Amino acid sequence: MGYNNFLYLLNDALEKNHLELALASVKTFRAADVADLLMQLPLENSKNLLIHLPDRVDVFSFLPPEYQAELAKIIPRNILAEIIGEMSSDKRVDVYKRLDTNQQNALLPALAQAEREDIRQLASYVEGTAGAIMSSEYATLKSNMTVSEAITMLRREAPDTETIYFAYVLNDERKLLGVISLKELILAAEEQSIGSIMTTDILFAKVDDDQDEVAKIIARYDLLALPIVDQYGIMIGIVTYDDAMDVASEEATEDFLKVGAVNGSSRFSLKTAPLFQLYKKRVYWLVILVFGSLLSGIGIAHYEDIIAEHIVLVFFLPLLVGSGGNAGSQSSTLMVRALATGDVQFKDWFYLLGRETLVALGLGVTMAVAVSLLGFYRGDELVALVLALSMTGIVLLGCLIGMSLPFILNKLGLDPASASAPLVTSICDAMGVLVYLFIASLILF
Amino acid sequence: MGYNNFLYLLNDALEKNHLELALASVKTFRAADVADLLMQLPLENSKNLLIHLPDRVDVFSFLPPEYQAELAKIIPRNILAEIIGEMSSDKRVDVYKRLDTNQQNALLPALAQAEREDIRQLASYVEGTAGAIMSSEYATLKSNMTVSEAITMLRREAPDTETIYFAYVLNDERKLLGVISLKELILAAEEQSIGSIMTTDILFAKVDDDQDEVAKIIARYDLLALPIVDQYGIMIGIVTYDDAMDVASEEATEDFLKVGAVNGSSRFSLKTAPLFQLYKKRVYWLVILVFGSLLSGIGIAHYEDIIAEHIVLVFFLPLLVGSGGNAGSQSSTLMVRALATGDVQFKDWFYLLGRETLVALGLGVTMAVAVSLLGFYRGDELVALVLALSMTGIVLLGCLIGMSLPFILNKLGLDPASASAPLVTSICDAMGVLVYLFIASLILF
């Protein structure tokens, strides 16, 4: 039975109120897989199945935030409060933030006071910062405890923490003194004090640090979790490795789309996003890039006479300006990704520009040889010379523009990833037209 | 003191053989940070510092594999064997694979027999598969053990395993029966049997599964580690979440570069890669794309008469074909990333094409209005009409090409990410020239 047939039968069972049958049919599925199934059902049926699932909190947690918000609108308030109350603190605040004010106000009184305050607190952090992705549920210990007391305490705290594999040692003002792993606890003698075996040289991040930076620290030092402190050094949360993986994937998607000249955040689905949203994400750059193309047009208009006289030049126009744009896109793509992964820093720019010049000359000469043979075949040796010189110059210029644009954008306070392939192509095209026709006018007149 | 000054002094101390001073100056640094420092020193000094570091195994493990191989050539063989012997099994085989046959043969006899066999075994798995990134060091238990016996066993195994937070329960043939977390062990009563509390519904991957798939499973189900089995269902390794993060980042880089028409693997540094390697990565696509541009040229040559008569058409040529290429790049970028993150599948193509047609019409009409005003200004109402019709058609065609190319490449057994922005741009340019000049020939003659 294929997946679509299964979906059909499941939906049919829900339509006919055969709830037992529907529940039985998804019994062996994992929470992440049931979440995928739900998203393919009509919203009403999806809700009916969800609220009767024994692991509904897990399943709900695996749904994307937009879909959670959709469901939250139609789930009975007391059930929604139960589900949200049991979710991990970082995930439930994501749902909360997507509800409108009326829904938020209806939900809050149904929650326990501690959860209510926790949600209000976490919701106050700015999107994109460590605070917005951290969890407030972590295990804490005191430095004067013994190892066996600590293990007993972790056992008691386990249901309310995201992880017990790391515990944070705090003083009475909740300042971070040290960190200890469950592995270290298991390996230590029972009567040793936590203070004597904890690690005091701790990595941490501030609550308003960029989420991307937090994800990079977790990946760089292979951490399971990173503690987050406020401006007074008081511990207020942790970011776990799985959240860091999600952030890294989102940031990669965002850069990826930017390089393709698609605007805005990565938190949307190509399959389900409203069409107008997709339109908006794209029309902005398409219109801006018109100006780049107009520059090319103006260049061409300026050399109209030369073109009219040597119409063969038009035949090679797409090839020359295209190659400059292609080489430039390659350069900017390499640079944007190297900056994003931390392979290069902005201070390396000058050094990289030197290397790029050598690579670009190699590429330019290769292309020049190829194109001048073609030029000789379709024109004469003068045309071949124009083509060879233009191609070398255009590829070199394209590479230098592609390599520099991310740096210039950064200096202007913009995201270097905005140096998209289409933007670089447009700029290189305009420069290419000018270089080509200028060289042609020198040699052919 | 800036970072560069510090580097200078450190290098100076090493040059003058002030080893104590050099060691003291990096004492408070973390292994990952010392690794970064080493890479900025001359190789000989880097080696001298490394082999005297108390945490040299950790530091060496944080270096990129190419640099490890460089160092391995000059580190005395007995020290190298000590370092490699203590590294985690997945990282040491990465070093081993990068040595040449002579170095491999010199190294192997210096290792203990168990390590030797482990390296030989792990080195035999194909790059890009689960086998090539897995570790052979994991904790195992028997199902008839009690919880307290299991904890004692984990304590004993801890130094030789990558993680003790998950232990795998195997039968006498080393087939996987279940999995149990250290958290579950800590929470269980001491005399319970492992068999009665372990999870028997286990996620696992096969040794020859694609590493990308393994990383996706780990991210999707928020796992710390995934067990790997051979074709007989016998457990042979684990892949941990940090390796999965590295794989995800590498795959994102690879797709990213492909979309910028840069070839080959992501395992290189823009800063240190040999220039010829960078040249090779790029020249391939630049030359292939020449053929796309030639198509544009041929289209232009075909309509040479019309161009000569209405030279104003050339002014708008870059604008029209450029917009088609830009819209097409947007479509292919959206599609390639959605396929990579699993947001859409190939079976959704037809549905997505329908949505794309609507979005493309919206974009096309917006651009057509803008460009026809320009056309009216520079030409007349007939030119404006040509431009409006061409722009709508070109943007629509560009979007459909951009959306379809990743699917077509996949059907041909190629990577959909090869549908790079420059490739899509070249194809759309050629189609754009034909559409524009064909419509112009219909209306203006």
Q: Are residues A194 and A341 in the same domain?
A: no
* Check: complex ipTM more than 0.95: no
> Which CATH number is B230's domain given?
3.10.580.10
CB of A50 closer than 8 Å to CB of A72: no
Give the helix, strand, coil percentages of chain B, each rounded to 5. Answer: 70, 10, 25
The domain boundary residue, chosen from B127, B147, B169:
B127
The Cβ-side half-sphere exposure at B233, using a 13 Å CA radius, reads 10
Q: Is the pLDDT of residue B130 over 80?
A: yes
Q: Is the pLDDT of residue A261 over 60?
A: yes
Q: Are residues A202 and A107 in the same domain?
A: no
Strands of B230-319, DSSP E: 235-240
Q: Are residues A420 and A308 in the same domain?
A: yes
- Who's near A151: CB < 8 A, 6+ residues apart? A185, A186, B186
pLDDT band (50, 70, 90) for residue A65: confident
Q: Are residues B120 and B143 in the same domain?
A: no
* Number of structural domains found in chain A: 3
CB of B91 closer than 8 Å to CB of B120: no
Q: Are residues A311 and A425 in the same domain?
A: yes
Distance, in Å, from the CA atom of A195 to the CA atom of B251, rounded to the nearest integer, reads 42
* Amino acid occupying residue B161: T
Q: Are residues A223 and A347 in the same domain?
A: no
pLDDT band (50, 70, 90) for residue B331: confident
Q: What was the pLDDT predicted at A142?
A: 94
Region A286-303 average pLDDT: 82
Q: What was the pLDDT predicted at B219?
A: 83
Sign of CA dihedral A118, A121, A126, A130: negative
A360-370 pLDDT, tens digit each: 999 999 999 98
Interface test with A, best of B33, B220, B272, B282 (most A CBs within 10 A): B282
Residue B270 resides in a domain = no
Q: What angle do CA A436, A437, A438 make, to 5 degrees?
A: 95
Residue of A nearest to B252 (CA): A252
Distance, in Å, from the CA atom of B239 to the CA atom of B133, rounded to the nearest integer, reads 7
Region A245-257 average pLDDT: 79
Q: What was the pLDDT predicted at B205?
A: 95
Q: Is the pLDDT of residue A266 over 60?
A: no
Q: Are residues B205 and B307 in the same domain?
A: no
> What is residue B66's three-state secondary structure?
helix
Interface test with A, best of B293, B347, B377 (most A CBs within 10 A): B293
Do B318 and A321 lie within an 8 Å CB cutoff? yes
Dihedrals phi, psi of A100, to nearest 5 degrees = -80, 170
Residue of A nearest to B361 (CA): A279
Q: Are residues A334 and A429 in the same domain?
A: yes
- The minimal CB distance from B334 to the residues A246, A260, A308 is found for A260
Q: What was the pLDDT predicted at B266?
A: 55
Do A311 and B315 lie within an 8 Å CB cutoff? no
Distance, in Å, from the CA atom of A62 to the CA atom of A57, rounded to the nearest integer, reads 9
Using an 8 Å CB-CB cutoff, list chain A residues near B255.
256
Residue B132 resides in a domain = no
Q: How distant is the Cα of A367 from the closest Cα of chain B, in angstroms?
A: 7
Region A179-204 average pLDDT: 92
Length of chain B: 445
- The minimal CB distance from A155 to the residues B186, B293, B300 is found for B186
Q: Are residues A185 and A296 in the same domain?
A: no
B373-422 pLDDT, tens digit each: 888 887 788 888 999 999 999 999 999 999 898 888 888 877 777 767 78
Using an 8 Å CB-CB cutoff, list chain B residues near A355.
275, 278
Residue A266 resides in a domain = no
Q: Number of CB pairs < 8 Å for A and B? A: 327
**Where in the sequence is the domain holding A118, given as residue range(s)?**
3-128
Residue A112 resides in a domain = yes
Residue with more model confidence, A253 or A206 = A206
- The minimal CB distance from B282 to the residues A278, A355, A363 is found for A363
Distance, in Å, from the CA atom of A29 to the CA atom of A41, rounded to the nearest integer, reads 16
Greatest alpha-carbon span in chain B: 95
Q: How distant is the Cα of A269 from the closest Cα of chain B, in angstroms?
A: 6
Residue A258 resides in a domain = no
B246-268 pLDDT, tens digit each: 888 788 777 777 766 666 555 56
- The minimal CB distance from B242 to the residues A222, A255, A294 is found for A222
Dihedral, A217, A218, A220, A224 alpha carbons, nearest 10: 150
CB of B326 closer than 8 Å to CB of A289: yes
Q: Are residues A144 and A286 in the same domain?
A: no
Do B319 and A297 lie within an 8 Å CB cutoff? yes
pLDDT band (50, 70, 90) for residue B8: confident
Q: What was the pLDDT predicted at A267?
A: 59
Using an 8 Å CB-CB cutoff, list chain A residues near B429.
318, 322
Give which of A192, A200, A198, A194 is closest to A144, Cα–Cα.
A194
Do A371 and B32 lie within an 8 Å CB cutoff? no
Q: How distant is the Cα of A57 from the closest Cα of chain B, in angstroms?
A: 15
Residue A261 resides in a domain = no
- What is the separation of C-alpha B86 from the centre of its chain, rounded to a whole number of angstroms? 27
Q: Are residues A412 and A317 in the same domain?
A: yes
Q: Is the pLDDT of residue B80 over 60?
A: yes
Q: Is the pLDDT of residue A411 over 60?
A: yes
Residue of A nearest to B310 (CA): A308
Region B427-439 average pLDDT: 90
**Beta bridge partner(s), residue A239:** A226
Q: What was the pLDDT predicted at B371?
A: 86
Structure tokens that stand for A114 in this block: 């501690």
Q: What was the pLDDT predicted at A288?
A: 79
Residue A254 resides in a domain = no
Q: Are residues A157 and A86 in the same domain?
A: no
CB of B333 closer than 8 Å to CB of A262: yes
Interface test with A, best of B62, B221, B245, B424 (most A CBs within 10 A): B245
Using an 8 Å CB-CB cutoff, list chain B residues near A326.
261, 285-286, 289, 422, 425-426
Distance, in Å, from the CA atom of B441 to the CA atom of B435, rounded to the nearest integer, reads 10
Percent of chain B past pLDDT 90, that is, above it, reads 31
Q: What was the pLDDT predicted at B406?
A: 86
- Who's near A161: CB < 8 A, 6+ residues apart? A137, A138, A139
Q: What was the pLDDT predicted at B71?
A: 92
DSSP string, B329-397: HHHHHHHHHHHHHTSS-GGGHHHHHHHHHHHHHHHHHHHHHHHHHHHHHHS-HHHHHHHHHHHHHHHHH
pLDDT band (50, 70, 90) for residue B351: confident
Residue A186 resides in a domain = yes
* Amino acid occupying residue B56: R
Using an 8 Å CB-CB cutoff, list chain A residues near B430.
318
* Average model confidence (pLDDT) across chain A: 86
Q: How distant is the Cα of A115 from the closest Cα of chain B, in angstroms?
A: 24
Region A138-163 average pLDDT: 90
The Cβ-side half-sphere exposure at B34, using a 13 Å CA radius, reads 25
pLDDT band (50, 70, 90) for residue A48: very high
Residue of A nearest to B296 (CA): A318
Q: B430 exposed, middle or buried (CB, 10 Å; 0-12, 13-18, 19+)?
A: buried
> Which CATH number is A62's domain given?
1.25.60.10
pLDDT band (50, 70, 90) for residue A148: very high
Do B286 and A363 lie within an 8 Å CB cutoff? yes
Q: What angle do CA B252, A325, B364 make, to 5 degrees?
A: 85
Interface test with B, best of A184, A329, A339 (most B CBs within 10 A): A329
Using an 8 Å CB-CB cutoff, list chain A residues near B359.
275, 278-279, 282
Residue with tokens 């037809």: B350
> Which CATH number is B356's domain given?
1.10.357.20
Q: What was the pLDDT predicted at A67?
A: 87
Q: Which of A415-419, B5-9, B270-274 has the highest mean pLDDT?
A: B5-9
pLDDT band (50, 70, 90) for residue A297: confident
Residue with more model confidence, B344 or A154 = A154
- Who's near B408: CB < 8 A, 6+ residues apart? none
Do A248 and B248 lie within an 8 Å CB cutoff? yes
